[in-house]
Structure 1
Amino acid sequence: MKKWLALSFFALNLMGCSNSNEMDGEKPPKVQIELANEAYETKLGTYCWSDNKVNTCVDMAGPVELLADKKPIEALPGEKLTIKMDYEPKPNEMYITQFNANEKNKETDIHLRNDQFTVPKEKGIYYYSYSVWWTDGEDATVSKGDALYAFVLKVN
């Protein structure tokens, strides 16, 4: 979470610096997760986005608070989860953090490989934040947008 906050603040400060803009839409694209051949929506949290007309930054609660009233997605231990974003250009940076509700929301950085990771083997409730950044191809310090997506799993 600390890494996300620092990068989000960094992106927020640089948002207006980009002259070329290839981002479409008023908000970041939707992201789904796929689990056992079923697709599930994620919840868009904090983001900064710039289309050709307007720069917008929205500050939201963290994943645990954002999903407080959301029913967890049922998952099996060790199952493969895929993150899907149908949008071009793809983000330049992607991070996923797991918050373990069984251990007072202990944070763990999760390794993504080909947009996939393995569901924990231990039963319980797990919250996730999927943080993405779009940066300028010529200057990585210039942000074109960033977003946090949240979802919650119940491992049975």
Structure 2
Amino acid sequence: MNRGLFIFIFMMSCYLIGCSNEELTVEKPPEASVQIGEQTYKTTLGSYCWSGEGKNTCVDKAGPVELLVEKTPIKVSPGEKITFLIDHKQKPSKVEAVQFHKNKETDVLVKDHQLTAPMEKGVYYYSYGVWWNDEKEPDVSNGDAFYAFVIEVE
């Protein structure tokens, strides 16, 4: 490859995505987990758009089933409470959850960042969507993120 072209591509990459790991961590949504009983489990970050350091970053990833194909499901009892935990100074403006089971997609009721495991045995994949709007301008988005986790009802 031509050295000038290589330098150009490198500089453009640095401009578009930043060359500092610190910048990248600022431009990602916060980590999230689910609490089931006394145990806490990390979720997997899916697609997101995030505003930070004066930049907007959007990342598109596969859906929860594809993202979690190699993850071991969290064992739960039928009807057990699952609480979504996120460490961010601003509370989300909106949350929603979608369950994937046997090639069927179902919206799930979320109340106080909590949902209930199904009563039927099986493996269930979840996408938990979180939106943060500007507190002063509710029509302006500060970011959104989708977190994925998988459970097995025993």
Length-normalised TM-score, structure 2: 0.80
Correspondence for 1:126 among 121, 124, 127: 124
Using the alignment, how far apart are the partners of 1:88 and 1:109 within structure 2?
Answer: 27
| 3-state SS of paired residue (2:58) | strand
Name 2:27's counterpart in structure 1: 26
Using the alignment, how far apart are the partners of 1:132 and 1:116 within structure 2?
Answer: 13
| 3-state SS of paired residue (1:64) | helix
The number of residues matched between the two structures is 130
Using the alignment, how far apart are the partners of 1:40 and 1:87 within structure 2?
Answer: 17
Q: Identity percentage over the alignment?
A: 51
Using the alignment, how far apart are the partners of 1:141 and 1:54 within structure 2?
Answer: 18
- CA deviations over 1:75-96 (Å, ceiling 9, x no partner): 1111111111121101101000
In structure 2, runs of 5+ residues without a counterpart are: 1-24
How far off is 1:55 after superposition?
1.7
Preserved contact between residue 30 and residue 86 of structure 2 (Cα < 8 Å): yes
Structure with higher Rg: it is 2
Higher relative contact order (CA 8 A, sep 6+): 1
Using the alignment, how far apart are the partners of 1:138 and 1:35 within structure 2?
Answer: 34
- Residue 84 of structure 2 aligns to which amino acid in structure 1? I
Using the alignment, how far apart are the partners of 1:68 and 1:132 within structure 2?
Answer: 22
CA RMSD of aligned residues (A): 1.4
Name 1:44's counterpart in structure 2: 45
Name 1:112's counterpart in structure 2: 110
Does residue 1:152 correspond to 2:150, yes or no? yes
Length-normalised TM-score, structure 1: 0.79
Runs of 4 or more consecutive aligned structure 1 residues displaced over 6 Å after TM superposition: none
